[in-house]
Chain A
Protein backbone atom coordinates (compact mmCIF):
# COMPACT_ATOMS: atom_id res chain seq x y z
CA UNK A 1 0.00 0.00 0.00
CA UNK A 2 2.98 2.33 -0.45
CA UNK A 3 2.58 3.28 -4.09
CA UNK A 4 1.65 6.96 -4.36
CA UNK A 5 -1.39 7.21 -6.62
CA UNK A 6 -2.32 10.85 -6.05
CA UNK A 7 0.06 13.70 -5.32
CA UNK A 8 -1.00 17.25 -4.52
CA UNK A 9 1.88 19.72 -4.48
CA UNK A 10 1.49 23.32 -3.29
CA UNK A 11 -1.94 23.65 -4.91
CA UNK A 12 -3.96 26.86 -4.56
CA UNK A 13 -7.19 27.93 -6.22
CA UNK A 14 -9.30 31.06 -6.35
CA UNK A 15 -12.72 31.27 -8.05
CA UNK A 16 -13.23 34.10 -10.59
CA UNK A 17 -14.12 37.37 -8.85
CA UNK A 18 -13.70 35.78 -5.41
CA UNK A 19 -11.85 38.01 -2.95
CA UNK A 20 -9.80 35.19 -1.42
CA UNK A 21 -8.30 31.83 -2.32
CA UNK A 22 -10.59 28.85 -1.58
CA UNK A 23 -7.57 26.55 -1.31
CA UNK A 24 -4.13 27.67 -0.16
CA UNK A 25 -0.88 25.76 -0.58
CA UNK A 26 -2.34 22.27 -0.28
CA UNK A 27 0.19 19.44 -0.01
CA UNK A 28 -0.57 15.76 0.54
CA UNK A 29 -0.27 12.34 -1.03
CA UNK A 30 -2.63 9.38 -1.24
CA UNK A 31 -1.38 5.79 -1.38
CA UNK A 32 -2.92 3.10 -3.58
CA UNK A 33 -5.77 1.33 -1.79
CA UNK A 34 -6.03 4.03 0.85
CA UNK A 35 -9.33 5.36 2.18
CA UNK A 36 -8.95 9.07 2.81
CA UNK A 37 -11.71 11.09 4.40
CA UNK A 38 -11.85 14.87 3.98
CA UNK A 39 -13.55 16.77 6.79
CA UNK A 40 -14.00 20.42 7.61
CA UNK A 41 -16.62 23.07 8.28
CA UNK A 42 -18.83 24.55 5.54
CA UNK A 43 -16.79 26.75 3.23
CA UNK A 44 -13.52 25.07 4.20
CA UNK A 45 -12.85 24.17 0.55
CA UNK A 46 -13.81 20.47 0.53
CA UNK A 47 -15.79 20.52 -2.74
CA UNK A 48 -13.16 22.73 -4.39
CA UNK A 49 -10.50 20.21 -3.35
CA UNK A 50 -12.59 17.37 -4.86
CA UNK A 51 -12.86 19.35 -8.11
CA UNK A 52 -9.11 19.85 -8.07
CA UNK A 53 -8.36 16.19 -7.40
CA UNK A 54 -10.67 15.01 -10.20
CA UNK A 55 -9.32 17.40 -12.84
CA UNK A 56 -12.50 19.54 -13.02
CA UNK A 57 -10.05 22.25 -11.91
CA UNK A 58 -8.41 23.43 -14.16
CA UNK A 59 -10.27 21.90 -17.13
CA UNK A 60 -13.91 22.67 -16.44
CA UNK A 61 -13.83 25.26 -13.66
CA UNK A 62 -12.32 28.64 -14.39
CA UNK A 63 -10.22 30.45 -11.79
CA UNK A 64 -6.69 31.17 -10.66
CA UNK A 65 -4.85 27.90 -10.14
CA UNK A 66 -1.31 27.28 -8.93
CA UNK A 67 0.51 24.09 -8.03
CA UNK A 68 0.33 20.54 -9.32
CA UNK A 69 -2.00 17.59 -8.94
CA UNK A 70 -0.64 14.30 -10.26
CA UNK A 71 -3.24 11.58 -10.76
CA UNK A 72 -1.79 8.11 -11.42
CA UNK A 73 1.34 9.75 -12.82
CA UNK A 74 -0.59 12.24 -14.98
CA UNK A 75 -0.28 15.93 -14.23
CA UNK A 76 -3.84 17.28 -14.33
CA UNK A 77 -2.68 20.43 -16.14
CA UNK A 78 -1.05 18.50 -18.96
CA UNK A 79 -3.76 15.92 -19.58
CA UNK A 80 -7.35 16.34 -20.69
CA UNK A 81 -10.35 15.59 -18.50
CA UNK A 82 -11.30 12.47 -20.53
CA UNK A 83 -7.75 11.15 -20.04
CA UNK A 84 -7.98 11.78 -16.31
CA UNK A 85 -11.51 10.30 -16.13
CA UNK A 86 -10.09 6.90 -16.96
CA UNK A 87 -8.09 6.97 -13.73
CA UNK A 88 -10.28 8.95 -11.37
CA UNK A 89 -14.06 8.98 -10.98
CA UNK A 90 -16.12 11.46 -9.01
CA UNK A 91 -19.61 11.26 -7.53
CA UNK A 92 -21.18 14.62 -6.70
CA UNK A 93 -23.40 15.36 -3.71
CA UNK A 94 -26.58 15.99 -5.70
CA UNK A 95 -27.80 12.71 -7.22
CA UNK A 96 -30.37 14.51 -9.39
CA UNK A 97 -27.87 16.51 -11.39
CA UNK A 98 -25.91 13.40 -12.37
CA UNK A 99 -28.77 11.71 -14.18
CA UNK A 100 -28.99 12.25 -17.93
CA UNK A 101 -30.92 9.25 -19.21
CA UNK A 102 -34.20 7.47 -18.61
CA UNK A 103 -32.88 3.99 -17.82
CA UNK A 104 -30.42 2.85 -15.17
CA UNK A 105 -28.32 0.80 -17.60
CA UNK A 106 -28.02 3.73 -20.03
CA UNK A 107 -27.03 5.97 -17.15
CA UNK A 108 -24.34 3.59 -15.98
CA UNK A 109 -23.02 3.11 -19.53
CA UNK A 110 -23.02 6.84 -20.45
CA UNK A 111 -19.41 7.66 -19.52
CA UNK A 112 -17.97 4.47 -21.00
CA UNK A 113 -19.90 5.08 -24.26
CA UNK A 114 -18.35 8.56 -24.46
CA UNK A 115 -14.90 6.98 -24.12
CA UNK A 116 -15.62 4.78 -27.15
CA UNK A 117 -15.20 1.58 -25.13
CA UNK A 118 -16.46 -1.47 -27.08
CA UNK A 119 -20.07 -2.40 -26.24
CA UNK A 120 -19.33 -5.89 -24.89
CA UNK A 121 -16.81 -4.39 -22.47
CA UNK A 122 -19.29 -1.67 -21.43
CA UNK A 123 -21.94 -4.34 -20.79
CA UNK A 124 -19.47 -6.38 -18.70
CA UNK A 125 -18.32 -3.33 -16.69
CA UNK A 126 -21.88 -2.07 -16.21
CA UNK A 127 -23.08 -5.50 -14.98
CA UNK A 128 -20.17 -5.62 -12.52
CA UNK A 129 -20.72 -2.04 -11.33
CA UNK A 130 -24.46 -2.58 -10.80
CA UNK A 131 -23.72 -5.76 -8.89
CA UNK A 132 -21.18 -3.96 -6.66
CA UNK A 133 -23.66 -1.19 -5.82
CA UNK A 134 -26.44 -3.77 -5.33
CA UNK A 135 -28.55 -2.40 -8.15
CA UNK A 136 -28.54 -5.47 -10.41
CA UNK A 137 -32.09 -6.04 -11.63
CA UNK A 138 -32.78 -2.32 -11.90
CA UNK A 139 -31.29 -1.98 -15.41
CA UNK A 140 -34.52 -0.92 -17.09
CA UNK A 141 -35.85 1.23 -14.26
CA UNK A 142 -36.20 5.01 -14.62
CA UNK A 143 -33.41 6.52 -12.45
CA UNK A 144 -35.51 9.58 -11.60
CA UNK A 145 -38.05 7.29 -9.90
CA UNK A 146 -35.47 5.70 -7.55
CA UNK A 147 -34.92 6.64 -3.91
CA UNK A 148 -32.10 9.05 -3.02
CA UNK A 149 -29.84 6.21 -1.85
CA UNK A 150 -30.50 4.21 -5.00
CA UNK A 151 -29.83 7.25 -7.21
CA UNK A 152 -26.53 7.83 -5.46
CA UNK A 153 -25.61 4.14 -5.88
CA UNK A 154 -26.40 4.44 -9.60
CA UNK A 155 -24.10 7.49 -9.70
CA UNK A 156 -21.35 5.41 -8.05
CA UNK A 157 -21.94 2.61 -10.59
CA UNK A 158 -21.72 5.18 -13.40
CA UNK A 159 -18.27 6.19 -12.17
CA UNK A 160 -17.19 2.56 -11.65
CA UNK A 161 -18.14 1.54 -15.20
CA UNK A 162 -15.34 3.79 -16.44
CA UNK A 163 -12.99 1.56 -14.37
CA UNK A 164 -11.19 4.29 -12.42
CA UNK A 165 -8.40 3.51 -9.98
CA UNK A 166 -9.47 6.30 -7.63
CA UNK A 167 -13.03 7.15 -6.62
CA UNK A 168 -13.92 10.54 -5.14
CA UNK A 169 -17.20 10.88 -3.30
CA UNK A 170 -18.19 14.45 -2.47
CA UNK A 171 -20.65 14.25 0.42
CA UNK A 172 -22.56 11.38 -1.20
CA UNK A 173 -24.90 11.04 1.76
CA UNK A 174 -25.60 14.71 2.49
CA UNK A 175 -29.07 14.55 0.91
CA UNK A 176 -29.94 11.05 2.05
CA UNK A 177 -32.01 9.63 4.88
CA UNK A 178 -30.41 7.18 7.38
CA UNK A 179 -31.31 4.12 5.26
CA UNK A 180 -29.91 5.73 2.10
CA UNK A 181 -26.74 6.64 4.04
CA UNK A 182 -26.29 3.04 5.25
CA UNK A 183 -26.78 1.74 1.68
CA UNK A 184 -24.08 4.05 0.30
CA UNK A 185 -21.62 3.28 3.12
CA UNK A 186 -22.13 -0.48 2.60
CA UNK A 187 -21.12 -0.03 -1.05
CA UNK A 188 -18.10 2.09 -0.13
CA UNK A 189 -17.03 -0.48 2.46
CA UNK A 190 -17.23 -3.25 -0.15
CA UNK A 191 -15.23 -1.22 -2.68
CA UNK A 192 -12.46 -0.80 -0.14
CA UNK A 193 -12.45 -4.23 1.44
CA UNK A 194 -13.21 -6.43 -1.57
CA UNK A 195 -11.72 -4.44 -4.45
CA UNK A 196 -9.01 -2.48 -2.60
CA UNK A 197 -10.07 0.69 -4.40
CA UNK A 198 -8.49 4.02 -3.51
CA UNK A 199 -11.32 6.13 -2.11
CA UNK A 200 -11.41 9.81 -1.20
CA UNK A 201 -14.59 10.80 0.54
CA UNK A 202 -15.92 14.08 1.86
CA UNK A 203 -18.31 13.45 4.73
CA UNK A 204 -19.35 14.66 8.16
CA UNK A 205 -20.57 11.21 9.22
CA UNK A 206 -17.80 10.44 11.69
CA UNK A 207 -19.46 7.31 13.13
CA UNK A 208 -19.42 5.69 9.70
CA UNK A 209 -15.96 6.81 8.60
CA UNK A 210 -14.41 5.63 11.86
CA UNK A 211 -15.26 2.12 10.67
CA UNK A 212 -12.91 2.09 7.73
CA UNK A 213 -11.04 5.38 7.08
CA UNK A 214 -7.26 5.01 6.96
CA UNK A 215 -6.59 8.72 7.32
CA UNK A 216 -8.56 11.91 7.81
CA UNK A 217 -7.61 15.19 6.16
CA UNK A 218 -8.99 18.21 7.99
CA UNK A 219 -9.49 21.37 5.94
CA UNK A 220 -9.92 24.71 7.64
CA UNK A 221 -10.32 27.99 5.77
CA UNK A 222 -8.77 26.51 2.64
CA UNK A 223 -5.72 25.05 4.34
CA UNK A 224 -4.80 21.57 5.54
CA UNK A 225 -5.18 21.79 9.30
CA UNK A 226 -4.21 18.17 9.94
CA UNK A 227 -3.88 14.81 8.20
CA UNK A 228 -3.65 11.72 10.33
CA UNK A 229 -5.41 8.55 11.47
CA UNK A 230 -9.00 8.98 12.74
CA UNK A 231 -7.79 8.11 16.28
CA UNK A 232 -5.24 10.91 16.37
CA UNK A 233 -7.56 13.44 14.72
CA UNK A 234 -10.55 12.78 17.00
CA UNK A 235 -8.27 12.72 20.06
CA UNK A 236 -6.95 16.20 19.31
CA UNK A 237 -9.48 18.54 20.90
CA UNK A 238 -7.81 21.61 19.42
CA UNK A 239 -8.29 20.38 15.86
CA UNK A 240 -11.79 19.10 16.57
CA UNK A 241 -12.90 22.43 18.03
CA UNK A 242 -11.17 24.58 15.41
CA UNK A 243 -12.66 22.72 12.43
CA UNK A 244 -16.02 22.00 14.10
CA UNK A 245 -15.61 18.28 13.49
CA UNK A 246 -18.35 15.84 14.42
CA UNK A 247 -16.63 13.25 16.59
CA UNK A 248 -17.88 9.67 17.17
CA UNK A 249 -19.68 9.39 20.51
CA UNK A 250 -17.21 6.84 21.93
CA UNK A 251 -14.35 9.21 21.08
CA UNK A 252 -16.15 12.09 22.81
CA UNK A 253 -16.47 9.99 25.99
CA UNK A 254 -12.81 8.98 25.70
CA UNK A 255 -11.68 12.62 25.33
CA UNK A 256 -13.72 13.62 28.40
CA UNK A 257 -12.23 10.75 30.43
CA UNK A 258 -8.68 11.65 29.40
CA UNK A 259 -9.28 15.31 30.24
CA UNK A 260 -10.54 14.22 33.66
CA UNK A 261 -7.18 12.54 34.22
CA UNK A 262 -8.31 8.95 33.56
CA UNK A 263 -5.79 7.27 31.25
CA UNK A 264 -7.05 4.84 28.59
CA UNK A 265 -5.26 1.80 27.12
CA UNK A 266 -6.25 2.89 23.63
CA UNK A 267 -8.29 5.68 22.05
CA UNK A 268 -11.57 4.29 20.63
CA UNK A 269 -13.25 5.61 17.49
CA UNK A 270 -15.51 2.61 16.82
CA UNK A 271 -18.27 1.32 19.05
CA UNK A 272 -16.66 -2.12 19.47
CA UNK A 273 -13.35 -0.48 20.40
CA UNK A 274 -15.21 1.67 22.93
CA UNK A 275 -16.85 -1.39 24.49
CA UNK A 276 -13.45 -3.06 24.79
CA UNK A 277 -11.61 -0.02 26.21
CA UNK A 278 -14.36 1.04 28.62
CA UNK A 279 -14.95 -2.56 29.85
CA UNK A 280 -11.23 -2.90 30.61
CA UNK A 281 -11.33 0.43 32.43
CA UNK A 282 -14.34 -0.64 34.50
CA UNK A 283 -12.74 -3.99 35.38
CA UNK A 284 -9.53 -2.23 36.35
CA UNK A 285 -11.45 0.22 38.55
CA UNK A 286 -13.47 -2.58 40.16
CA UNK A 287 -10.28 -4.56 40.88
CA UNK A 288 -8.72 -1.47 42.45
CA UNK A 289 -11.76 -0.94 44.70
Chain B
Protein backbone atom coordinates (compact mmCIF):
# COMPACT_ATOMS: atom_id res chain seq x y z
CA UNK B 1 0.00 0.00 0.00
CA UNK B 2 1.36 3.45 -0.88
CA UNK B 3 1.52 5.10 2.50
CA UNK B 4 4.20 6.09 4.96
CA UNK B 5 6.33 3.17 6.15
CA UNK B 6 8.07 4.01 9.40
CA UNK B 7 11.83 3.59 9.28
CA UNK B 8 15.19 4.95 10.32
CA UNK B 9 16.94 5.06 6.95
CA UNK B 10 18.82 8.04 5.56
CA UNK B 11 15.94 8.71 3.21
CA UNK B 12 13.41 8.64 6.08
CA UNK B 13 15.48 11.20 8.01
CA UNK B 14 16.03 13.43 4.99
CA UNK B 15 14.30 16.84 5.16
CA UNK B 16 11.03 16.66 3.17
CA UNK B 17 12.00 19.81 1.24
CA UNK B 18 15.01 18.01 -0.22
CA UNK B 19 12.79 15.09 -1.22
CA UNK B 20 10.22 17.40 -2.84
CA UNK B 21 12.97 19.24 -4.77
CA UNK B 22 14.43 15.88 -5.80
CA UNK B 23 10.99 14.76 -7.04
CA UNK B 24 10.41 17.97 -9.01
CA UNK B 25 13.84 18.24 -10.55
CA UNK B 26 14.07 14.56 -11.51
CA UNK B 27 10.56 14.69 -12.99
CA UNK B 28 11.55 17.67 -15.15
CA UNK B 29 14.75 15.89 -16.19
CA UNK B 30 12.86 12.72 -17.11
CA UNK B 31 10.39 14.66 -19.24
CA UNK B 32 13.05 16.78 -20.93
CA UNK B 33 15.47 14.02 -21.86
CA UNK B 34 15.08 11.69 -24.83
CA UNK B 35 18.22 9.79 -23.90
CA UNK B 36 18.06 6.21 -22.74
CA UNK B 37 21.43 6.35 -20.89
CA UNK B 38 20.27 9.44 -18.92
CA UNK B 39 16.96 7.78 -18.08
CA UNK B 40 18.86 4.64 -17.12
CA UNK B 41 21.12 6.55 -14.73
CA UNK B 42 18.11 8.32 -13.12
CA UNK B 43 16.39 4.96 -12.77
CA UNK B 44 19.54 3.53 -11.20
CA UNK B 45 19.64 6.40 -8.68
CA UNK B 46 15.99 5.79 -7.78
CA UNK B 47 16.63 2.07 -7.33
CA UNK B 48 19.62 2.84 -5.06
CA UNK B 49 17.30 5.12 -3.03
CA UNK B 50 14.77 2.26 -2.75
CA UNK B 51 17.55 0.01 -1.47
CA UNK B 52 18.72 2.67 1.02
CA UNK B 53 15.14 3.23 2.26
CA UNK B 54 14.95 -0.38 3.42
CA UNK B 55 11.47 -0.70 1.88
CA UNK B 56 10.98 -3.51 -0.60
CA UNK B 57 9.57 -2.32 -3.92
CA UNK B 58 7.25 -5.36 -3.61
CA UNK B 59 5.38 -3.37 -0.91
CA UNK B 60 3.79 -1.52 -3.83
CA UNK B 61 1.65 -4.61 -4.48
CA UNK B 62 -1.16 -3.94 -6.95
CA UNK B 63 0.46 -0.63 -7.95
CA UNK B 64 3.35 -2.57 -9.51
CA UNK B 65 0.91 -4.58 -11.66
CA UNK B 66 -0.75 -1.32 -12.72
CA UNK B 67 2.66 0.17 -13.50
CA UNK B 68 3.71 -2.77 -15.68
CA UNK B 69 0.33 -2.80 -17.44
CA UNK B 70 0.42 0.94 -18.09
CA UNK B 71 3.99 0.86 -19.38
CA UNK B 72 3.22 -2.02 -21.75
CA UNK B 73 0.07 -0.23 -22.94
CA UNK B 74 1.98 3.00 -23.66
CA UNK B 75 4.74 1.12 -25.48
CA UNK B 76 2.19 -0.81 -27.56
CA UNK B 77 0.09 2.24 -28.47
CA UNK B 78 3.11 4.35 -29.42
CA UNK B 79 4.63 1.50 -31.41
CA UNK B 80 1.43 1.05 -33.40
CA UNK B 81 0.54 4.67 -34.01
CA UNK B 82 3.74 6.72 -33.85
CA UNK B 83 5.06 5.74 -37.27
CA UNK B 84 8.47 6.71 -38.72
CA UNK B 85 10.78 6.32 -41.67
CA UNK B 86 12.56 3.03 -40.93
CA UNK B 87 9.76 0.55 -41.44
CA UNK B 88 10.01 -2.77 -39.58
CA UNK B 89 6.64 -4.34 -40.37
CA UNK B 90 4.21 -3.14 -43.01
CA UNK B 91 1.34 -3.61 -43.22
CA UNK B 92 0.22 -4.75 -39.76
CA UNK B 93 -3.14 -5.91 -41.07
CA UNK B 94 -2.76 -8.40 -43.95
CA UNK B 95 -4.08 -7.38 -47.37
CA UNK B 96 -6.72 -10.12 -47.48
CA UNK B 97 -8.68 -8.61 -44.55
CA UNK B 98 -11.66 -6.72 -46.03
CA UNK B 99 -11.87 -2.90 -45.67
CA UNK B 100 -8.91 -2.44 -43.26
CA UNK B 101 -6.50 -4.81 -44.96
CA UNK B 102 -3.06 -3.37 -45.73
CA UNK B 103 -3.30 -0.68 -43.06
CA UNK B 104 -0.78 0.25 -40.38
CA UNK B 105 2.96 -0.09 -40.04
CA UNK B 106 5.55 -0.44 -37.30
CA UNK B 107 8.63 1.74 -37.60
CA UNK B 108 11.88 1.67 -35.58
CA UNK B 109 11.29 5.30 -34.54
CA UNK B 110 7.83 4.38 -33.25
CA UNK B 111 9.18 1.47 -31.22
CA UNK B 112 11.93 3.66 -29.75
CA UNK B 113 9.50 6.47 -28.92
CA UNK B 114 7.16 3.96 -27.27
CA UNK B 115 10.02 2.54 -25.22
CA UNK B 116 11.11 6.08 -24.27
CA UNK B 117 7.63 7.03 -23.03
CA UNK B 118 7.26 3.73 -21.22
CA UNK B 119 10.66 4.16 -19.56
CA UNK B 120 9.81 7.74 -18.53
CA UNK B 121 6.55 6.58 -17.03
CA UNK B 122 8.28 3.79 -15.13
CA UNK B 123 10.92 6.12 -13.69
CA UNK B 124 8.34 8.67 -12.50
CA UNK B 125 6.02 6.02 -11.12
CA UNK B 126 8.88 4.44 -9.15
CA UNK B 127 10.01 7.79 -7.76
CA UNK B 128 6.71 9.14 -6.44
CA UNK B 129 5.84 6.23 -4.10
CA UNK B 130 9.41 6.30 -2.77
CA UNK B 131 8.92 9.88 -1.56
CA UNK B 132 5.45 9.15 -0.13
CA UNK B 133 6.54 5.95 1.63
CA UNK B 134 9.57 7.51 3.33
CA UNK B 135 7.96 10.80 4.42
CA UNK B 136 5.33 11.36 7.08
CA UNK B 137 2.30 13.05 5.52
CA UNK B 138 2.62 15.81 8.15
CA UNK B 139 6.25 16.48 7.15
CA UNK B 140 5.38 16.40 3.47
CA UNK B 141 2.73 19.10 4.05
CA UNK B 142 5.17 21.13 6.11
CA UNK B 143 7.80 20.71 3.40
CA UNK B 144 5.43 22.10 0.77
CA UNK B 145 4.49 25.01 3.06
CA UNK B 146 8.14 25.85 3.80
CA UNK B 147 8.80 25.82 0.06
CA UNK B 148 6.15 28.51 -0.33
CA UNK B 149 3.00 26.57 -1.18
CA UNK B 150 -0.07 27.92 0.72
CA UNK B 151 -1.17 25.50 3.48
CA UNK B 152 -4.58 25.10 1.81
CA UNK B 153 -2.95 23.41 -1.21
CA UNK B 154 -0.47 21.43 0.87
CA UNK B 155 -3.44 20.14 2.90
CA UNK B 156 -5.24 19.20 -0.32
CA UNK B 157 -2.26 17.13 -1.46
CA UNK B 158 -1.80 15.40 1.89
CA UNK B 159 -5.54 14.74 2.34
CA UNK B 160 -5.64 13.18 -1.13
CA UNK B 161 -2.73 10.94 -0.10
CA UNK B 162 -4.50 10.06 3.16
CA UNK B 163 -7.63 9.16 1.27
CA UNK B 164 -5.90 6.61 -1.02
CA UNK B 165 -5.94 3.77 1.57
CA UNK B 166 -9.47 4.80 2.65
CA UNK B 167 -10.65 4.53 -0.97
CA UNK B 168 -8.88 1.18 -1.33
CA UNK B 169 -10.76 -0.10 1.73
CA UNK B 170 -14.03 1.29 0.36
CA UNK B 171 -13.48 -0.50 -2.96
CA UNK B 172 -12.80 -3.76 -1.10
CA UNK B 173 -16.01 -3.32 0.95
CA UNK B 174 -18.12 -2.59 -2.15
CA UNK B 175 -16.72 -5.56 -4.11
CA UNK B 176 -17.30 -7.82 -1.07
CA UNK B 177 -20.88 -6.57 -0.79
CA UNK B 178 -21.43 -7.22 -4.51
CA UNK B 179 -19.90 -10.69 -4.25
CA UNK B 180 -22.26 -11.52 -1.38
CA UNK B 181 -25.08 -10.81 -3.82
CA UNK B 182 -23.56 -13.22 -6.36
CA UNK B 183 -22.08 -10.46 -8.51
CA UNK B 184 -18.59 -11.74 -9.29
CA UNK B 185 -17.85 -10.06 -12.64
CA UNK B 186 -15.05 -8.00 -11.01
CA UNK B 187 -12.97 -11.12 -10.49
CA UNK B 188 -14.29 -13.93 -12.63
CA UNK B 189 -15.51 -12.06 -15.69
CA UNK B 190 -13.66 -11.38 -18.91
CA UNK B 191 -12.38 -7.95 -19.91
CA UNK B 192 -15.71 -6.92 -21.45
CA UNK B 193 -17.67 -8.19 -18.46
CA UNK B 194 -15.30 -6.35 -16.12
CA UNK B 195 -15.78 -3.13 -18.08
CA UNK B 196 -19.55 -3.58 -18.00
CA UNK B 197 -19.47 -4.20 -14.25
CA UNK B 198 -17.62 -0.98 -13.43
CA UNK B 199 -20.77 1.12 -12.83
CA UNK B 200 -21.67 -1.31 -10.02
CA UNK B 201 -18.39 -0.35 -8.36
CA UNK B 202 -18.03 3.27 -9.41
CA UNK B 203 -21.56 4.47 -8.58
CA UNK B 204 -21.54 3.48 -4.87
CA UNK B 205 -17.91 4.58 -4.59
CA UNK B 206 -18.62 8.06 -5.99
CA UNK B 207 -21.84 8.43 -3.98
CA UNK B 208 -20.09 7.33 -0.77
CA UNK B 209 -17.13 9.60 -1.44
CA UNK B 210 -19.37 12.61 -2.08
CA UNK B 211 -21.22 12.06 1.19
CA UNK B 212 -17.95 11.57 3.03
CA UNK B 213 -16.39 14.69 1.51
CA UNK B 214 -19.35 16.75 2.77
CA UNK B 215 -18.82 15.36 6.27
CA UNK B 216 -15.07 16.00 6.06
CA UNK B 217 -15.80 19.58 4.96
CA UNK B 218 -18.05 20.12 7.96
CA UNK B 219 -15.48 18.59 10.33
CA UNK B 220 -12.81 20.89 8.84
CA UNK B 221 -15.03 23.95 9.25
CA UNK B 222 -15.68 23.30 12.93
CA UNK B 223 -11.95 22.96 13.46
CA UNK B 224 -11.35 26.40 11.93
CA UNK B 225 -9.59 25.19 8.79
CA UNK B 226 -8.47 28.12 6.65
CA UNK B 227 -9.86 30.66 9.08
CA UNK B 228 -6.60 32.60 9.29
CA UNK B 229 -3.98 33.39 6.69
CA UNK B 230 -1.32 31.76 8.86
CA UNK B 231 -1.34 28.85 11.26
CA UNK B 232 1.01 27.40 13.83
CA UNK B 233 2.66 24.01 13.45
CA UNK B 234 3.17 21.77 16.44
CA UNK B 235 6.06 20.03 14.70
CA UNK B 236 8.78 21.79 12.77
CA UNK B 237 11.41 20.70 10.27
CA UNK B 238 14.97 21.92 9.96
CA UNK B 239 17.72 21.44 7.37
CA UNK B 240 20.84 19.76 8.72
CA UNK B 241 24.28 19.12 7.23
CA UNK B 242 23.26 15.79 5.68
CA UNK B 243 20.21 17.42 4.07
CA UNK B 244 22.31 20.17 2.49
CA UNK B 245 24.88 17.61 1.34
CA UNK B 246 22.23 15.41 -0.33
CA UNK B 247 20.58 18.47 -1.90
CA UNK B 248 23.96 19.47 -3.37
CA UNK B 249 24.46 15.90 -4.63
CA UNK B 250 21.03 15.86 -6.29
CA UNK B 251 21.60 19.26 -7.91
CA UNK B 252 25.05 18.18 -9.12
CA UNK B 253 23.62 14.86 -10.39
CA UNK B 254 20.86 16.65 -12.28
CA UNK B 255 23.29 19.21 -13.70
CA UNK B 256 25.46 16.31 -14.87
CA UNK B 257 22.47 14.57 -16.42
CA UNK B 258 21.34 17.72 -18.23
CA UNK B 259 24.86 18.13 -19.61
CA UNK B 260 24.95 14.49 -20.64
CA UNK B 261 21.59 14.94 -22.30
CA UNK B 262 22.95 17.79 -24.41
CA UNK B 263 26.19 15.98 -25.26
CA UNK B 264 24.73 12.61 -26.26
Which residues of A are at the interface with B, using a C-beta cutoff of 8 A?
Answer: 51, 54-56, 59-61, 80-82, 85, 89-90, 92, 94, 96-98, 100-103, 105-106, 109-119, 122-123, 126, 144, 158, 162
Given contacts A97-B219, A110-B223, A144-B166, contact A122 B234 (CB under 8 A): yes
Q: Cβ of B96 < 8 Å from any Cβ of A?
A: no
Cross-chain contact A144 with B165 (CB below 8 angstroms):
yes
Q: In the assembled complex, which residues on chain A have CB atoms less than 8 Å from the CB atom of B226?
A: 114
Cross-chain contact B221 with A81 (CB below 8 angstroms):
yes
**A121 → chain B, closest Cβ, in Å?**
9
Q: In the bound complex, what is the Cα–Cα distance between A113 and B227 (angstroms)?
A: 11
Our count of residue pairs bridging A and B at CB distance below 8 angstroms stands at: 99
Please list 14 pairs of residues, one from A and one from B, whose beta carbons are closer than 8 Å in the complex, sorted by A's number.
A56-B221, A59-B221, A80-B227, A96-B166, A102-B3, A102-B4, A105-B234, A106-B138, A112-B232, A114-B224, A114-B231, A116-B228, A116-B230, A162-B224
Q: Is the interface of A mostly helix, strand, loop or mixed?
A: helix
Given contacts A90-B222, A97-B215, A162-B223, contact A116 B231 (CB under 8 A): yes
Given contacts A113-B234, A119-B233, A123-B234, contact A98 B224 (CB under 8 A): no
Q: In the assembled complex, which residues on chain A have CB atoms less than 8 Å from the CB atom of B4?
A: 102
Cross-chain contact A81 with B138 (CB below 8 angstroms):
no
**A1 → chain B, closest Cβ, in Å?**
26
**A154 → chain B, closest Cβ, in Å?**
12
Cross-chain contact A102 with B137 (CB below 8 angstroms):
yes
Cross-chain contact B220 with A100 (CB below 8 angstroms):
yes
Q: In the assembled complex, which residues on chain B have CB atoms less than 8 Å from the CB atom of A92?
A: 215, 218-219
Q: In the assembled complex, which residues on chain B have CB atoms less than 8 Å from the CB atom of A112?
A: 232
Q: Cβ of B216 < 8 Å from any Cβ of A?
A: yes
The chain B residue with its CB closest to the CB of A140 is B6
Q: Cβ of B136 < 8 Å from any Cβ of A?
A: yes
- Please pick, from B138, B212, B215, B235, the residue contacting A102 in the complex, using a CB distance under 8 A: B138
**A196 → chain B, closest Cβ, in Å?**
23
Cross-chain contact A114 with B159 (CB below 8 angstroms):
no
Given contacts A89-B222, A92-B215, contact A115 B233 (CB under 8 A): no
